[in-house]
Amino acid sequence: MDESKVKDPIPEEFESIEAAAQFWDTHSLADYWDQTHEVEIEVAARRRRRVVIDPTVWEQVVVCARARGVLPETLINLWLAERAQNVT
């Protein structure tokens, strides 16, 4: 970084993850390395399940998903949610 330029301060808090992403998309961490410190964070991710899908069925899902402009996993989740809603 050109030392004659004044760098923007890192905000104490970001309004959202999008604001943080915007800041770091336009700034280099290398310019702020001296202001960093190690932190510990906890992430509460929801557990995902895996299912086995027949290869022929998977290919059909891929074709349907492409036609709708979504990922196959997204389409499967939508279908399962719809089906589960109709069962109750």
Name the nearest CA neighbour of 75 among 55, 56, 58.
58
**pLDDT beneath 70, residues of the chain:** 1-6, 88
Residue 62 in tokens: 């891929």
Sequence-distant (6+) residues with CB within 8 A of 76 are 53, 61
pLDDT, residue 25, reads 95
pLDDT, residue 67, reads 97
pLDDT, residue 59, reads 97
Question: What residue type is assigned to position 56 of the chain?
Answer: T
